Amino acid sequence: MVNSSVKMPCNVLQKKEDNVEFFFWYKNDGVTAFYTLDARRQRLGEAHHVKNESYSSRIQFHPTAEQPYLQIDNLKEDDTGTYFCRVDYQWSATELTKINLVVVVPPKKLIVRDDTGQEVRNIAGPYKEHSDVTLSCEAQKGFPTPNVTWWKDNKLWDNTFQKTQTGVINEMKLNNLSRLELFATFHCKAQNTMLTSPVSRTIVLDMYLYPLTVRITSRPLPRAAGRRVDLACESEGSRPSAKLSWLLNGSALTDHIETVHDNVTSSVLRFLPKSQHYGLPLVCRAQNPKLYDSKLDDVRVLNITYIPQVSLRLIKEEVGRQPKEDDYIRLVCDIDANPSVLKVGWLFNDLPLSHNQSSTDIVSGNTLVFKRLTRRNRGRYKCYAINEEGRGISQELTLNISHAPVCKENQQITYAVGLNQTVTVRCEVEAVPTDVTFKWEFSNTVRKHYNLQHTSDGVVSVASYMPVTAADYGTLFCWANNSVGHQQSSCFFTVIAPACNPERTNVNASSLSRDGSEEVWNHSVITTGAGIVASIFIVTAACAFYIRRIYLEKKHRPMGPIMEEDVTIYSRVQCHNSGPQPRI
């Protein structure tokens, strides 16, 4: 072994009649002895020693030993070689002894490297589970060439090695690492002699492990919207410990607390269910933070119970046009509810809707059908739905119905005015849209006037009228029209002479309706007839007044009070007592 000592014997024939004169030591093919002993004039114990200076004090020949030998101390690697001992006698022939010396040099050191060429000290990795790993062990120097082997659990694992320029290398390949290889211990050994123990390095494998399981542990019960709950999830098998995350329909939830105990990661999510969460996937995801491809999910489809979500929409014949009279339309109540709806109802102007299934509106499930719209259907509509969670109500939908103008009810229809006095007659209609135009006419049994002067402001028109003669009393008619159509029945106003005790009468100014209401027709006929009768009596009274005046003027009497004449209009007594009177 290097750094040790060796004794190389030299054979000598012990003859009484002959003496040894010289010992010469040669190495390999050298012609010059590196060690010489001269005993020609002295005994062997006192002989003169001559040695090569390169060996210094490391070598010493012992000629007096029972078996003469050359001792070399502190052996070096280059001491290896073939040595020759030559013995010269005084009379006998020279003897030559050949000795082969091999100096064993153990490997200087072992170097373990990973796949990337980085030196591994004691722990290799960490490596991904299921990955392939190569560890190379190199024995540097050493003579003779050492054997480099890998061992596991005191069993030979790999003995394939090869010599390189720098030493001897054994590359150990580990394919598809399993989690059982975590903390596995491998030994690399290099040995070139049985004289000493092999040089050894111990390597421990470290690994990243995938999560084995992830599970939402909370019971899969229906959850009520608006009521906060705690949901639990746990995962095990990951190294390092898995990170747990929660996702709702792919969006991360952050209100959760995570704990780790004995390689089990637990997470509790504070969750506020909402109605829109119904049917969405809730995911608890476990992932090793060191392994990007280690995601493991447990998915639960949420069953959220909630008060019905209700919205109201209008379906009409023509898109983009406001509904008008006689249209067929539907109001649809869209309902989203869990559990199922028990009842659907309707509100009209905040009151429960009463409907007539034989004429205008029909309730069919969640649909309100108007077979033929009328103005009475105009108003505010809502629908509601009830389930086990409660009652949900829709937004308000205002139904505006376009229609041709009609007279507004409860207008003043009788105006009393004296001759040559101007009266302002106000005509108001109901119409959608309200952009209307008006037309006025005057009529009685004597004359008609068309296109009376008037002013208009929206759905109100005002006409100024002045009776000049008694024949100018009668009825004013007002019509309007808009983009939907013309007013079917006019509004009418009666202009009469003022009464002795004037009294204005406010009655219904409704025009003849399109649906043929008998009450409106009767009122129109009576009122118009009254106007005609009034005109006849006014003319008669005027004639009597003029005759009397002529008679008084002939008698040269002063003008007295105007004679009162009884005129019956609407069962009331009226007389002409104001305004200038015409002369005949």
How does pLDDT run across 324-349, given as a tens digit for each residue? 888 888 899 999 999 999 999 999 99
**The token pair that represents 312 in the structure block:** 């109201």
pLDDT in tens, 265-288: 999 999 999 999 999 999 999 999
* Domains of the chain: residue spans and CATH: 6-101 (2.60.40.10), 109-208 (2.60.40.10), 213-302 (2.60.40.10), 306-401 (2.60.40.10), 404-496 (2.60.40.10)
Please compute the mean of the pLDDT values over residues 58-83 and round it to a whole number. 91
Per-residue confidence at 359, pLDDT binned at 50, 70, 90? low
- Give pTM, 2 decimals: 0.58
How far apart CA 503 and CA 487 sit, in angstroms, is 30
Helix (H) or strand (E) segment spanning residue 170: strand 167-174
How far apart CA 320 and CA 372 sit, in angstroms, is 19
Please compute the mean of the pLDDT values over residues 128-157 and round it to a whole number. 92
Question: Regarding beta strands 491-496 and 414-416, do their DSSP bridges make them parallel or antiparallel, or are they unpaired?
Answer: parallel
Per-residue confidence at 426, pLDDT binned at 50, 70, 90? very high
**The token pair that represents 205 in the structure block:** 């494998």
Looking at the chain, the whole-number percentage of residues with pLDDT higher than 90 is 58
445 against 561, higher pLDDT: 445
Lowest-pLDDT range of 116-130, 243-257, 389-403, 510-524: 510-524
pLDDT in tens, 299-327: 999 999 999 999 999 988 766 778 888 88
**For residue 412, is pLDDT > 80?**
yes
CB 223 within 8 A of CB 216: no
Question: Closest Cα to residue 4, out of 66, 118, 80, 68?
Answer: 80
Lowest-pLDDT range of 102-116, 237-251, 363-377, 480-494: 363-377
**For residue 148, is pLDDT > 80?**
yes
Cα angle, residue 470 at apex, residues 464 and 473 outer, rounded to 5°: 45
**What pLDDT sits at residue 356?**
58
**For residue 175, is pLDDT > 90?**
yes
pLDDT in tens, 427-457: 999 998 999 999 999 988 888 877 788 999 9
**The token pair that represents 162 in the structure block:** 């090869």
**What pLDDT sits at residue 500?**
55
